[in-house]
């Protein structure tokens, strides 16, 4: 009933949006235009196929599966987790897929002891549990519930003074330095946000802290942000964001088996040598538990930007607050189960289009990951129906439901490492989804797929407004974007897709093997605080995130089209002018970064030397001048720019062929899909050779946040100037190699 | 003892600051340079006099008087207020001043009934009182305490739903409009801040509200900002900011006697006709009282920028919260007593330099106003000592301690209106102070006095660092200023002084009569929340604001020098290139404002027309597109620019004479000090003829915040485009007139 009402609304608004399209001067893809990689006849056939595909999708299926798969906690290694695997595998088999459950043996720490108490100036023992709520029956289905913890914290018992470190980012520590405050020998208390959680204990440990507490501040994620659960979607006072703190920017996956699959007989590191386990114990807590700790602190009042939403004055240090924290984990080896379901391609069985979403959740996981998984399942079912009707894919389609994503992309990474050679040979692309939400389509990934992604965004309609998801996204940029972004709406036919950092299972495909990847989801209209808490339930999701699951269907439509086009295109829909254009942006950004950091450092050093800080700062307070930084040299970006020129020329040349509608040979298609591999090398990034891609990586000090041309960018950001020339060379080389391979296509 | 320690610190830092001066490339005024308005010999004599003046200042006097005058509440009309008047007058007499107590009969509403209760969904009766604290004995000296209220709220009893209006500014109401929320027939609850308090009921009434509640949010002024009293300086949970809500941007002073002195026999408006009394009842409350009201509200969650620091989710409307508010006041006629103390000038007794600070406080008023008053008294005492030693002023110096400033600049305004003709003839300048604080010197006022102010800022040393207060201010700009401000440190010898809006007793002098004025104080290092509360006590002030009262002495040094130089200069130290330069900035700003508002309106209207808002906004929420606004025409600023050119030329011409050291005749001096009068006209500003100055005015919708070239600027801001040409003409005319008078000086 709700779906019907929304459709009516969509009809009303779509008339209005037609005029909008015309006014913007950007023409939508016309139904008669050829699809990238298809000639006219094949385009028509593909469109008909996609229409049939759509007709097999329905919100009922999504609702049934979402309810079933999120009814209980189902983390890796749990009994319910295994039932979820069997359920999903059974569906794939029903739908005609050759389905394997591929197992890995992986290290999985679960909590044995979690103790946190304030020992001075008063005593308070943190509860460390989440409340079951009458209003949400799922929160009482807590078989096998993992209590709040951060996976891959080391064991430890520590006692020390608290220091408030805000988000615990490098910038935050620079400010603490100005107060003369160090975390050495102390326990850092940090709020969630500002960076990926794993960065907080990593940096705190680098700075000498003996432990880290992470809490969700109500200003960011609680009553300050909006009504709290169950009245609204935001974080309940007892809610705790679980999550892995494994050092994923070094390598994700099983901590004992970097670079290789965690098969039963794999050679393993001793746990004590695993570099991605934290150096200090770390525990996440609720704001209900955090308040007494923070209220007990004293000393300097925090800077304005560091204030949170608790009804207290936040202090940095020194103060009377001391805490004792004791953490012990069961360091078990458990089985991670990936469901791998294959529909063999009729023409190119050795070219694989891989489509994945994880199935494990921290708890019930209705949003994360089941909302994405049920969209994937709906796609798979529909593809199965098409195949049963004789319209199977031309290339092999591999559906994957990954295990142990939450602990560090473990299921996917082990499978990728285990099958590296085969994937290097056969993988056309990897299409990822994860928890889905409501609002605007977000597509991130390899820019070689940007044009296809844009065609698809123009072909799928937004369920709330009836216009294409592309048009809705354009409207959002028009209303909320900056001048540059607004300008591009007029000057650039395609919307940019965002580069990928980390945070879901695309990472091993893209950043380790160089397999062109996309990550797709909707979002922007359903903020809330259920993420990784007991409250990520069916009830929360269907009340506040995607009521009626209409965006679940829209996600199936978008991701399903990506799969179908990649599976069926006579010429793979890869394109390189978008790649070159985006990379040119990144090169400009890095050049600007160098110039900015140089002029800012120069000006700041001059101020420090002149003594103005001593005169401008309050002499009664401890907040002092910043520390002088080494001068920043000029860098030679010419190799990067020369290589980019080559790529641009080659890309322009190939565009003519791409637009001709001419089909490609199997060999040409193989060349097309392996050009992304050319953007990697065997050396990888400084200090983290697992990351071989020289265009996209998660930031070493941001965690999930992307760094483009990461070797160069991070060398400048981290002021390791001696690395810049080498990293420019490495990035220039991969671009030159990619350009050469694009040129091959035009021969 | 504390003073001694600070002096030592100052010595340490001053060596360092010397190098800073050299590096900046701006040379400080050298002790051998002539002072503006003095030749070499007179400069040396004046400097010696100022050194002697300094030697008479001491923190002991300040401390004695501060303790005495702030020991009990002493508002207008109170017995203790009269004792304060007698005490101050007695001191002036002791110091050799001809001292009058000049009385006016003014309307003074004090509270008779204050009731506020939440009547739905639950019942809560607001306490409306402030807690006396053991830690601060003054808070128990509460004879004649005025309880929290807003003076010049009308009487009324209202009941209605609450609507949260954030700061209650015009921008806030535009956002409420987008939510489809109106305050009509409801009670607006607003937080303090964002504009002067009187704007809140004024706008709410314009929008149809039946009442207004104003509270201090702890994010702005409470535990969110820092430790609360008595642990720290910030607002106690029971603290309430009292304050007048008289419509001062229309006219300040006694509400019944606009334009004329409120003498016993003055012709008065009936109270019901007084346009500056609010249209709806308004009451200020503490955050302790506000929390239950805000927590009871429902409906839309506030936009992110509107969130406060209470541990609740803030909602706009609609919700179950209804309140009843009943306010009744004693509309008494009371006597306001100004102390007017005169030291007759030896050479030009009919040229008056007026120096004032109010004496009345909302309660104890240690910071506001006694901290400023005691600096003024120290100056007066020192001037008396100089006079007794044969070094009396050449012009007449008039010291004024004003009454009833808090209720609406009443004492000063009535005196100014009462003596308008005499002041027009004789007043050289008015120098105001009010509550003083710690840190950086702030001088605002007439730009004709900018150069002299800069000379003085270079001659007075900061008590904490030992460098000149100018240098300390420059250092602050260097560290915290924007690029433009930093650039000016190098390109412009003088620091800009800020234009004056309203908020203290300079307003009638400057903006009604066109008497060149300055307002002087220190600040920037002692944030806190005692303002207009029970906690503005000696204890609070000396612990948190200016321990040792060293900035009290610094204020005497700065303001005393202004008085002494204006009193003694053979040629009055007025200068016009600074005036022209600042006005050229304002003209540029206004031109840019017109262009910005035009392009923004055009772009926003295009977005509204295109329908992108319907696509970009969440269709499940009520937040809608902005309302289309009329297109903005191009404006003719040529008359202003032509007039400015004339002023610039005349000013450049006069600079040669000013710098020559030549003394001026009495008539030339009179011409010099009346050039500020030329910036006024008889018509005044649109809708508020009392404000005759066409360069400086308080904003009609900001209250205290200044609007420069206010007729033109506000016509554009308020989108009353039909007024622009007329107001450009008026401003151009006053500039042309001023230019003509400056030219006269060079003849």
Measure Cα distances from B531 to B224, B239, B361, B403, B741 in Å. Answer: 17, 9, 10, 18, 42
| B474/B553 same-domain check | no
Where is the domain boundary, B306, B330, B354?
B330
pLDDT confidence of residue B17: 37
Residue A8 has pLDDT above 50, yes or no: no
Residue B31 has pLDDT above 80, yes or no: no
| B305/B191 same-domain check | yes
For A436, what's the count of Cα atoms within 13 Å in the CB-facing half-sphere? 34
Model confidence pLDDT, tens digit, residues A532-564: 999 999 999 999 999 999 999 999 999 999 999
Confidence of residue B434 (pLDDT cuts 50, 70, 90): very high
At B509 the three-state DSSP class reads helix
Residue A21 has pLDDT above 70, yes or no: no
Percent of chain A with pLDDT over 70: 96
Model confidence pLDDT, tens digit, residues A387-411: 999 999 999 999 999 999 999 999 9
> What is the CATH number for A244?
3.50.30.30
Residue A28 has pLDDT above 90, yes or no: no
Query: Measured between CB atoms, which of B19, B228, B478 is closest to A616?
Result: B478
Model confidence pLDDT, tens digit, residues A712-726: 999 999 999 999 999
pLDDT confidence of residue B747: 82
DSSP assignment of B632-671 equals PPP---HHHHHHHHHHHHHHHHHHHHHHHT----HHHHHH
> Do A615 and B226 make contact, defined as CB atoms within 8 angstroms?
no
Where is the domain boundary, A272, A301, A332?
A332
Instruction: Identify which of B242, B389, B443, B415 has the alpha carbon closest to the alpha carbon of residue B336.
Output: B415
| B389/B430 same-domain check | yes
The CB density around residue B304, as the number of other CB atoms within 10 Å, is 10
| B719/B589 same-domain check | yes
Q: Report how far residue A668's alpha carbon sits from residue A658's, in angstroms, rounded to the nearest whole number.
A: 12
CA end-to-end distance (rounded Å), chain B: 57
Residue B22 has pLDDT above 60, yes or no: no
Model confidence pLDDT, tens digit, residues B207-230: 999 999 999 999 999 999 999 999
The CB density around residue B429, as the number of other CB atoms within 10 Å, is 30
At B39 the three-state DSSP class reads coil
pLDDT confidence of residue A1: 26
Residue partners of B106: CB distance under 8 A and separation at least 6: B76, B254, B256, B257, B262, B333, B334, B335, B336, B404, B407, B410, B414
B617 vs A: CB within 8 A: yes
Burial tier of A539 (Cβ tally within 10 Å: 0-12, 13-18, 19+): buried
pLDDT confidence of residue A26: 39
> Do B479 and A607 make contact, defined as CB atoms within 8 angstroms?
yes
> Do A313 and B475 make contact, defined as CB atoms within 8 angstroms?
no
| A286/A343 same-domain check | no
Model confidence pLDDT, tens digit, residues A191-232: 999 999 999 999 999 999 999 999 999 999 999 999 999 999
CA end-to-end distance (rounded Å), chain A: 56
Percent of chain B with pLDDT over 90: 94
Q: Report how far residue B524's alpha carbon sits from residue B434's, in angstroms, rounded to the nearest whole number.
A: 15
pLDDT confidence of residue B704: 87
Residue of B nearest to A471 (CA): B615
Min Cα–Cα distance to chain A from B303, Å: 9
List A residues 586-615 in contact with B (Cβ-Cβ < 8 A): 606-607, 609-615
Confidence of residue B30 (pLDDT cuts 50, 70, 90): low
| Strand ranges in A165-281 using DSSP code E only, listed in sequence order | 187-191, 211-215, 243-244
Could you say which DSSP state residue A395 is in?
Answer: E
| DSSP-derived pairing of the beta strands A187-191 and A322-343 | unpaired
Which among B611, B618, B626 is the top mutation candidate for probing chain A, defined by the most A β-carbons within 10 Å of its own β-carbon?
B611
What value does the mean pLDDT take over residues B698-703?
94
What value does the mean pLDDT take over residues B606-628?
96
Residue partners of B175: CB distance under 8 A and separation at least 6: B166, B303, B306
| B112/B167 same-domain check | yes
Confidence of residue B8 (pLDDT cuts 50, 70, 90): very low
B24 vs A: CB within 8 A: yes
| B619/B695 same-domain check | yes
> What is the CATH number for B382?
3.40.630.10
Residue A180 has pLDDT above 70, yes or no: yes
Residue of B nearest to A235 (CA): B313
Residue A667 has pLDDT above 60, yes or no: yes
> Do A610 and B20 make contact, defined as CB atoms within 8 angstroms?
yes
Sign for the CA dihedral angle at A688, A691, A696, A701 comes to negative
Residue of A nearest to B441 (CA): A616
Measure Cα distances from B147 to B110, B135, B325 in Å. Answer: 9, 20, 16
* Average pLDDT of chain B to the nearest whole number: 95
Residues in chain B: 747
Q: Report how far residue B247's alpha carbon sits from residue B204's, in angstroms, rounded to the nearest whole number.
A: 13
Q: Which residues of B touch A480 (CB under 8 A)?
A: 616
Q: Which domain holds residue A143?
A: 107-332
Burial tier of B198 (Cβ tally within 10 Å: 0-12, 13-18, 19+): buried
Residue B21 has pLDDT above 60, yes or no: no
Could you say which DSSP state residue B128 is in?
Answer: -
Model confidence pLDDT, tens digit, residues A241-296: 999 999 999 999 999 999 999 999 999 999 999 999 999 999 999 999 999 999 99
What value does the mean pLDDT take over residues B495-519?
98
Q: Which of A655-659, B90-94, B585-589 has the lowest mean pLDDT?
A: A655-659
3-state helix, strand, coil in chain A (%, to 5): 45, 20, 40
> Do B311 and A218 make contact, defined as CB atoms within 8 angstroms?
yes
Our CA dihedral for A80, A86, A88, A93, rounded to 10 degrees, sits at: -170
pLDDT confidence of residue A30: 52
Inter-chain contacts counted by CB atoms under 8 A, chains A and B: 140
Q: For residue B446, give both structure tokens.
A: 């007439």
Burial tier of A658 (Cβ tally within 10 Å: 0-12, 13-18, 19+): buried
Model confidence pLDDT, tens digit, residues B662-693: 999 999 999 999 999 999 999 999 999 999 99
In this prediction the ipTM stands at 0.93
Contact between residue B93 and residue B99 where contact means Cβ atoms under 8 Å apart: yes
Q: Which residues of B touch A313 (CB under 8 A)?
A: 223-224, 226-228, 232, 234
Measure Cα distances from B371 to B357, B363, B407, B496 in Å. Answer: 10, 14, 19, 25
Measure Cα distances from A52 to A27, A28, A507, A560, B165 in Å. Answer: 25, 22, 32, 12, 52
Residue of B nearest to A464 (CA): B619
pLDDT confidence of residue B451: 97
Q: For residue A359, give both structure tokens.
A: 């199935």
Residue B253 has pLDDT above 70, yes or no: yes
> Do A471 and B610 make contact, defined as CB atoms within 8 angstroms?
no
Instruction: Identify which of B66, B5, B42 has the alpha carbon closest to the alpha carbon of residue B556.
Output: B66
DSSP assignment of A663-727 equals ---HHHHHHHHHGGGGGB-SS-BTTBTT--BSSEEE-TTTTTSEEESHHHHHHHHTT-GGGHHHH
Query: How many domains is chain B partitioned into structurally?
Result: 4
> Do B615 and A525 make contact, defined as CB atoms within 8 angstroms?
no
pLDDT confidence of residue B192: 97
Q: Report how far residue B477's alpha carbon sits from residue B486's, in angstroms, rounded to the nearest whole number.
A: 6
A311 vs B: CB within 8 A: yes
Residues in chain A: 747
| A93/A150 same-domain check | no
B649 vs A: CB within 8 A: no
Q: From the CA atom positions of chain B, what is the Rg in Å?
A: 26
Contact between residue A547 and residue A2 where contact means Cβ atoms under 8 Å apart: yes
What value does the mean pLDDT take over residues B373-378?
98
> What is the CATH number for B710?
1.20.930.40
Percent of chain B with pLDDT over 70: 96
Could you say which DSSP state residue A232 is in?
Answer: S
pLDDT confidence of residue A660: 87
Q: Report how far residue A471's alpha carbon sits from residue A129's, in angstroms, rounded to the nearest whole number.
A: 44
The secondary element (H helix, E strand) that includes residue B696 is strand B696-698
Contact between residue B345 and residue B395 where contact means Cβ atoms under 8 Å apart: yes
Percent of chain A with pLDDT over 90: 94
| A91/A189 same-domain check | no
Q: Report how far residue A105's alpha carbon sits from residue A257's, in angstroms, rounded to the nearest whole number.
A: 10
| Strand ranges in B165-303 using DSSP code E only, listed in sequence order | 187-191, 211-215, 243-244, 282-285
Q: For residue B471, give both structure tokens.
A: 């240098």
- Widest Cα–Cα separation across chain B: 81
Any bridge partners for residue B329, and if so which?
A: B111
| A434/A470 same-domain check | yes
Where is the domain boundary, B568, B589, B623?
B568
| A238/A180 same-domain check | yes
pLDDT confidence of residue A3: 29
Residue B437 has pLDDT above 90, yes or no: yes
| B236/B305 same-domain check | yes
Q: Report how far residue B104's alpha carbon sits from residue B339's, in angstroms, rounded to the nearest whole number.
A: 12
A11 vs B: CB within 8 A: no
Q: Which residues of A touch B301 (CB under 8 A)?
A: 226-227, 232
Instruction: Identify which of A360, A358, A406, A330 has the alpha carbon closest to the alpha carbon of residue A82.
Output: A360
Residue partners of B461: CB distance under 8 A and separation at least 6: B10, B467, B468, B469, B554
Confidence of residue B346 (pLDDT cuts 50, 70, 90): very high
């Amino acid at each position: 009933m709700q779906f019907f009402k929304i459709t009516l609304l969509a009809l009303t608004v779509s008339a209005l949006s037609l005029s909008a399209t015309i006014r913007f001067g950007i023409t939508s893809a016309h139904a008669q235009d050829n699809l990238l990689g298809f000639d006219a006849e094949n385009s028509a056939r593909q469109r008909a196929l996609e229409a049939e595909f759509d007709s097999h999708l329905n919100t009922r299926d999504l609702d049934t599966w979402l309810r079933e798969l999120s009814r209980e906690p189902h983390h890796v290694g749990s009994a319910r987790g295994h039932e979820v695997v069997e359920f999903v595998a059974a569906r794939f088999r029903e739908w005609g897929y050759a389905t394997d459950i591929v197992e890995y043996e992986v290290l999985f720490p679960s909590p044995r002891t979690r103790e946190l108490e304030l020992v001075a100036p008063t005593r308070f023992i943190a509860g460390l549990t989440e409340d079951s709520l009458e209003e949400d029956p799922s929160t009482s289905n807590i078989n096998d519930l993992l209590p709040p913890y951060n996976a891959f914290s080391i064991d430890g018992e520590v006692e020390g003074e608290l220091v408030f470190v805000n988000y615990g980012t490098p910038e935050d520590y620079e400010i603490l330095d100005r107060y003369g405050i160090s975390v050495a020998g102390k326990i850092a208390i940090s709020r969630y946000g500002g960076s990926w959680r794993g960065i907080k204990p990593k940096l705190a440990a680098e700075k000498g802290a003996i432990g880290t507490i992470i809490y969700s501040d109500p200003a960011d994620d609680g009553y300050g942000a909006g009504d709290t659960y169950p009245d609204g979607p935001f974080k309940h006072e007892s809610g705790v964001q679980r999550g892995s703190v494994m050092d994923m920017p070094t390598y994700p996956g099983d901590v004992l088996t970097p670079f290789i699959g965690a098969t039963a007989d794999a050679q393993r590191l001793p746990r004590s040598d695993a570099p991605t386990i934290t150096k200090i114990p770390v525990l996440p807590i609720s704001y209900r538990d955090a308040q007494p700790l923070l209220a007990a602190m004293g000393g300097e009042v925090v800077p304005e930007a560091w204030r949170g939403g608790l009804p207290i004055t936040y202090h940095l240090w020194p103060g009377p607050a001391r805490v004792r924290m004791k953490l012990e984990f069961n360091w078990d080896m458990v089985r991670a189960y990936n469901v791998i379901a294959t529909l063999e391609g009729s023409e190119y069985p050795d070219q694989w289009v891989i489509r994945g979403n994880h199935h494990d959740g921290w708890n019930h996981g209705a949003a994360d990951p089941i909302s994405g998984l049920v969209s994937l399942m709906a796609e798979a079912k529909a593809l199965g129906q098409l195949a049963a009707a004789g319209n199977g894919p031309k290339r092999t389609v591999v559906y994957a439901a990954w295990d142990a994503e939450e602990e560090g992309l473990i299921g996917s990474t082990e499978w990728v490492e285990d099958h590296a050679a085969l994937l290097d040979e056969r993988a056309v692309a990897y299409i990822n989804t994860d928890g889905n939400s409501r609002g605007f389509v977000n597509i991130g990934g390899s820019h070689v797929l940007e044009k296809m992604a844009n065609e698809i965004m123009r072909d799928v309609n937004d369920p709330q407004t009836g216009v294409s998801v592309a048009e809705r996204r354009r409207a959002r940029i028009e209303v909320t974007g900056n001048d540059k972004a607004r300008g591009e709406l007029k000057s650039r036919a395609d919307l940019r897709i965002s580069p990928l950092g980390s945070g879901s299972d695309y990472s091993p495909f893209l950043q380790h093997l160089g397999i062109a990847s996309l990550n797709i989801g909707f979002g922007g209209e359903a903020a809330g605080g259920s993420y990784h808490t007991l409250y990520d339930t069916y009830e929360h999701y269907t009340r506040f995130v995607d009521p009626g699951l209409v965006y679940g269907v829209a996600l199936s439509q978008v991701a399903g089209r990506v799969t179908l086009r990649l599976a069926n295109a006579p010429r793979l829909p890869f394109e390189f002018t978008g790649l070159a254009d985006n990379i040119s942006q990144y090169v400009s950004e890095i050049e600007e970064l160098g110039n900015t950091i140089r002029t800012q450092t120069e000006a700041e050093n001059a101020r420090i030397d002149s003594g103005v800080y001593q005169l401008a700062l309050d002499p009664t307070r401890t907040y002092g001048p910043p520390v002088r930084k080494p001068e920043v040299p000029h860098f030679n970006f010419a190799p990067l720019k020369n290589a980019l020129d080559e790529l641009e020329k080659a890309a322009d040349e190939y565009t003519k062929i791409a637009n001709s509608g001419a089909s490609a040979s199997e060999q040409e298609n193989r060349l097309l899909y392996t050009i992304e591999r050319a953007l990697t090398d065997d050396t990888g990034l400084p200090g983290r050779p697992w990351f071989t891609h020289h265009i996209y990586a998660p930031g070493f000090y941001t965690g999930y946040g992307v760094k483009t041309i990461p070797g160069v960018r991070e060398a400048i950001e981290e002021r390791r100037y001696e690395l810049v020339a080498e990293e420019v060379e490495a990035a220039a080389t991969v671009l030159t190699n990619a350009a050469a391979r694009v040129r091959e296509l035009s021969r």
